[in-house]
Amino acid sequence: MRMRAAILSFLTSCLFLLNSEAKTPNIILVMADDQGYGDAGYTGHPFLKTPHLDAMAKQSIVFDRFYAGAPVCSPTRASVMTGRTPMRTNVLNHGHYMRPHEVTIAEALKKAGYHTAHFGKWHIGSVQKESPTSPGGQGFDTWLTALNFYDHDAYFSDNGTFKQLKGQGTVLTMDAALDHLKKNAQNEKPLFTVIWFPSPHDPHPERSSRPDLYKDQKHYGYFQEITLLDEQVGRLRKTLRDLKIHDNTILWYCSDNGGLLTESSGGRARKGSIYEGGLRVPSLLEWPAKYSNQKISLPSSTSDMFPTLLALAGVKSDRKIPLDGIDLTPAIEGKLQRRPNTIGFWHHYTKGQSTWSDRIIKTLMDAQQAGKPNPHPERVLKNVNEFPARKPLPNGSYPGHAAVIDWPYKIHAISSGKSTRYEFYNLEKDPMEATDLSKENSAAFKKMKMFIGSWQRSVMDSLEGKDYPK
């Protein structure tokens, strides 16, 4: 009888795995706001408590050299949505809305039969229902979204209806996401759910369930918010198990840029910088039905999430706009040892539209509830080129700070507008970018110097709208 029971149990397990693999997976993307590579227990932080991320890391694909698309939040979010270098999409910096001409991952998955939902920080477009740059305009069926950063008692756009919710913003975001999952877990449609936290962005008023932690630390609030978001990841993973959808759910966690503390950023500098500390971020991909724990050291980025997720979901996109990201599944399966293309970054500050989330959404809410006209029609952006206005960059001029990684080398082009200087590093030997090799004028440096110029010209063409089919 015991043998029969064991055989039956084995066959049941096999059948479950086959069904799990055959069924279209759910997909959940979770993004922290300003968590550096070193700001987690599993990445080696000496005292920071992230037990849920640590547990997830033991069961996940760990991308050990994963980069945000930019050193600040809005551009990186555009890269996740499109699989493209963010400046190509018109998101140069804060306050620049992503062009509706872009094809988002939400649109691609929705077309393939997914129910799509967004919760939390948006910051790449409007939150007014009628705007093509809102979550609804960019492919999400359901959304509870803040325009930008938020904290306590935050104001949200609930599919275009404005409301205030009481509580910690990070917890409210996860509450909404979990309610959505519970209501839709058994639906025929697979779920694509995006959860973009407001933590640990400063200021830091939110607290974990253990406010006694880090009392003696200088950056008490920052560490508290990281532990708080870690607790929300734990809630999410537990709920997926309770709903019995954990095994066939792809859960991908990362941050939008480097952290706020140089000492734990994982490289030189921190948020806002093109150096490693401003770009390198934690990244974990969990899919129990298909993958077990392993570490991937191949350089990868948030632009890779679009093509990788479509490949994992078995979705073919008919988009004609070129991608910068690559499908990482060959790397996960041990078939790709070297990246076939480079990873480029370009940070150029140009002033965009201010996006004070609470102030703006409260104004919209008060007007909506009173039946008054829209006080911010300029934020609808039916024509994305209306606002914010930007002066075209001069032809042949590449201001700002750009960098390209062709492992193990990384070249920087730092321009004041009138002149450009270059820095060149071997990241494998010098991960802190301390020893500039540009003066050696090696063949590798000359090659990458030529390449970064051609890459910037390509990005400029995209910025001017030349990628879009006429």
Looking at residue 116, its amino acid is: T
pLDDT band at 231 (very low <50, low <70, confident <90, very high): very high
pLDDT mean over 200-215: 97
Residue the block writes with tokens 């397990």: 13
φ, ψ of residue 382 to 5 degrees: the values are: -65, -30
In this predicted structure, the answer to whether residue 173 has a pLDDT above a threshold of 90 is yes
CATH number of 24-342: 3.40.50.800, 3.40.50.2300, 3.30.420.40, 3.40.720.10? Answer: 3.40.720.10
pLDDT at 31: 98
pLDDT band at 395 (very low <50, low <70, confident <90, very high): low
In DSSP terms, which residues pair with 191 in a beta bridge?
Answer: 115
Cβ atoms of residues 459 and 417 within 8 Å: no
Residue 293 to residue 101: CA distance in whole angstroms: 38
Cα–Cα distance, 167 to 164 (Å, whole number) = 10
Q: What is the CA radius of gyration of the chain?
A: 22
CA–CA gap between residue 79 and residue 39 (Å, rounded): 22
Cis check for the bond before 388: say yes or no (omega within 30 of 0): yes
Range in 28-37, 98-107, 138-147, 391-400 with the lowest mean pLDDT: 391-400
User: Which stretch of 65-69, 144-148, 380-384, 432-436 has the lowest confidence by average pLDDT?
Assistant: 380-384
Average pLDDT over residues 304-324: 91
- 162-195 in b/e burial notation, b at 16+ Cβ within 10 A? beebeebbbbbbbbbbbebbeebbeeeebbbbbb
Categorize the per-residue pLDDT at 464 as very low, low, confident or very high, splitting at 50, 70 and 90: confident
The conformational region for residue 457 under phi > 0 = left, psi -120 to 50 = alpha, else beta, is alpha
pLDDT band for position 393 (50/70/90)?
A: low
Mean pLDDT of 118-129: 96
Residues of the chain with CATH 3.40.720.10: 24-342
Element (H, E) at 86: none
* Total residue count of the chain as it appears in this document: 470
| Of 11-20, 64-73, 285-294, 437-446, minimum mean pLDDT range | 11-20
Report whether pLDDT(83) > 80: yes
Mean pLDDT (the chain) is 91
**Which residue, chain included where needed, has tokens 């709903």?**
243
Instruction: Tell me the per-residue pLDDT of 212-221, one tens digit each, with 9 for 90 and over.
Output: 999 999 999 9
Cα angle at 463 between 462 and 465, to 5 degrees? 65
DSSP 342-385: -EEEEE---------HHHHHHHHHHHHHHTPPPS-GGGT-SSTT
Q: Which pLDDT value is given to residue 19?
A: 38
Q: Which pLDDT score, from 0 to 100, does residue 348 have?
A: 85
Does the domain made of 395-463 have the CATH classification 3.40.50.1010?
A: no
With CA atoms as reference, report the closest residue to 172 among 235, 126, 127, 223: 235
Give CATH 3.30.1120.10 domain extents, the chain: 395-463
- pLDDT at position 228, please? 98
Weakest-pLDDT range from 7-11, 177-181, 227-231, 262-266: 7-11
Tokens of 319: 């988009």
Summarised one tens digit per residue, pLDDT across range 426-442 is 999 999 999 999 999 99
pLDDT band at 390 (very low <50, low <70, confident <90, very high): low
* pLDDT reported for residue 61: 98
Calpha distance 310→319 (Å, rounded): 12
The stretch 26-54 carries a mean pLDDT of: 98
Q: 48-62, 230-244, 449-463: lowest mean pLDDT where?
A: 449-463
221: closest CA among 207, 239, 240, 233? 207
pLDDT value of position 18: 37
Q: Does the pLDDT at position 69 exceed 80?
A: yes
Res 106: pLDDT: 98
Give the confidence band of 320 by pLDDT, cuts at 50, 70, 90. confident
Confidence tier at 22 by pLDDT (50, 70, 90): low
Tokens of 457: 């010209």
Can you give the pTM of this predicted structure? 0.93
Going by C-beta distance under 8 Å and a sequence separation of 6 or more, which residues neighbour residue 377?
A: none
Residue with tokens 């150096």: 275
Distance CA 330, CA 403 (A): 25
